[in-house]
Amino acid sequence: MHPLYALELDGSEPISATAVKAVSALCDRAEDAEGTGARSPVVAVHVTGAPADGWAGSLDVMLVTKWERALRRLERLPVATVAVAHGDCGGTALETFLAADVRVATPDTRLLLPRDATATWPGMAGYRLVRLAGVARTRGALLFGRPVQAAEALALGVVDELTDDPAAAVAAAAALVGDLSGKEIAIRRQLMFDAATTGFEDALGAHLAACDRALRQGAAPETAAEA
């Protein structure tokens, strides 16, 4: 069984140093476990809650920068990540949810881009939504804060599965990982991200390097067996 590292985030709370530390500590644990050579861990983040109006009034750009860096670290972990959402999800809850490899939601979930004083919050949740679903299908949410209902999020590919049993969904995600290497998952993830913006010729080198790495790893057990 894969080691499971879990975190709960309340999106009704504004971005805080505590949230940054919690995500960073989760990443530390996952990276340390991946480096032990044991079975690759799986990270599960449970999110709910959306901030009230005026939530951004106490923030400063340095804190927001630290938060976005922590999320980017989570998004690039050398392990598989799964996020489970329920109820209204906005702010830190939505941003963390969108950074996961596998995104599961309960049927009552609504994804909400919160507003600051003048418009929707311009954080990286909007960027990730567009990368996942495209401009046309996310315009209402990004510009006007229109809630994205769970069924719509599933149809858009923003949510991978709707379930009334989040625990079973997390277990299924861990089973999906199987014996795959967390480090190799991270490499495939980066190739996937780059494919959206990189031309064929520029991408070819990175893919060939990954193929060479896979071939060398596959040859290593055979060499050891021959010896």
Let me know whether 102 and 170 are in one domain.
yes
pLDDT tier, 28 (very low <50, low <70, confident <90, very high otherwise) = very high
Domain of residue 89 covers 4-177
Q: Judge whether 226 lies within some domain.
A: no
Q: Give the global pTM.
A: 0.89
Let me know whether 153 and 186 are in one domain.
no
Q: What is the pLDDT of residue 66?
A: 97
Write the DSSP string, 170-225: HHHHHHHHTT--HHHHHHHHHHHHHHTT--HHHHHHHHHHHHHHHHHHHHHHHHHH
pLDDT tier, 144 (very low <50, low <70, confident <90, very high otherwise) = very high
Let me know whether 164 and 215 are in one domain.
no
Q: What is the pLDDT of residues 195-227, one digit of tens each?
A: 888 899 988 988 888 888 888 877 655 554 454
Q: Judge whether 41 lies within some domain.
A: yes
Let me know whether 25 and 52 are in one domain.
yes
Let me know whether 125 and 195 are in one domain.
no
Let me know whether 37 and 109 are in one domain.
yes
Q: What is the pLDDT of residue 8?
A: 96
Bridge partners of 47? 9, 85
Q: What is the pLDDT of residues 76-87, one digit of tens each?
A: 999 999 999 999
Let me know whether 160 and 146 are in one domain.
yes
- Residue 158 DSSP one-character state: S
Q: What is the pLDDT of residues 147-176, one digit of tens each?
A: 999 999 999 999 999 999 999 988 888 888
Write the DSSP string, 4-37: EEEEEEETTSPP-HHHHHHHHHHHHHHHHHHTTS
Q: What is the pLDDT of residue 96?
A: 97
Q: Judge whether 224 lies within some domain.
A: no
Highest mean pLDDT: which range of 105-114, 184-193, 199-208, 217-226: 105-114
Let me know whether 83 and 189 are in one domain.
no
Let me know whether 50 and 79 are in one domain.
yes
Pairing status of strand 161-162 against strand 102-105? parallel
Write the DSSP string, 89-139: EEHHHHHHHHTSSEEEE-TT-EEE--B-SSSB--SHHHHHHHHHH-HHHHH
Total domains present in the chain: 2
Q: Judge whether 99 lies within some domain.
A: yes
Let me know whether 145 and 191 are in one domain.
no
